[in-house]
Amino acid sequence: MEWGITERELESIRAEQLKFMPTPLQVYRKLSNDTDSEFVKYGPEVNGRLTPNLGSLWRGVADRYEGLTMFSLTGPLDWDIKAGDQVYDAYGRVYVVRDVKDPATYHTALQCLAEQVD
């Protein structure tokens, strides 16, 4: 007897999961390492989900602490996104991707940790 799920079942789960990703997201990426280069639209717009992270993160800025507004971004498994990218949602809010979760067994979506910056 074989344990696990088939590729066909996994594709079915991924298709069903997309129904719960209602927010259009667009990636912007710097295409060179020059400090003067600008972020440009990168790849197609995808539907995803933004979920605020519970808990607090802080960073020191000069002699004060600044709170960070962190989100989990979930998108389709084939989403081309990496740390350092900017993501814009349909409402014009901007998020900077800080990390992308590595795929795992039976991975059905791509998840990122992002900071809301605007």
Q: Confidence band (pLDDT; 50, 70, 90) for 94?
A: very high
Domains and CATH numbers, the chain: 7-116 (2.40.10)
For range 33-37, the mean pLDDT: 77
Per-residue pLDDT at 17: 78
Closest CA to 81 of 51, 53, 43, 52: 43
Tell me the CB-side half-sphere exposure of residue 78, using CA atoms within 13 A. 8
What distance in Å separates the CA atoms of residue 27 and residue 95, rounded to the nearest whole number? 10
Single pTM value for the model: 0.78
* The pLDDT of residue 12 is above 80: yes
Q: Residue 73: how many CB atoms within 10 A of its CB?
A: 23
Whether the pLDDT of residue 43 is over 90: the answer is yes
* Segment of 11-20, 38-47, 96-105 carrying the highest mean pLDDT: 38-47
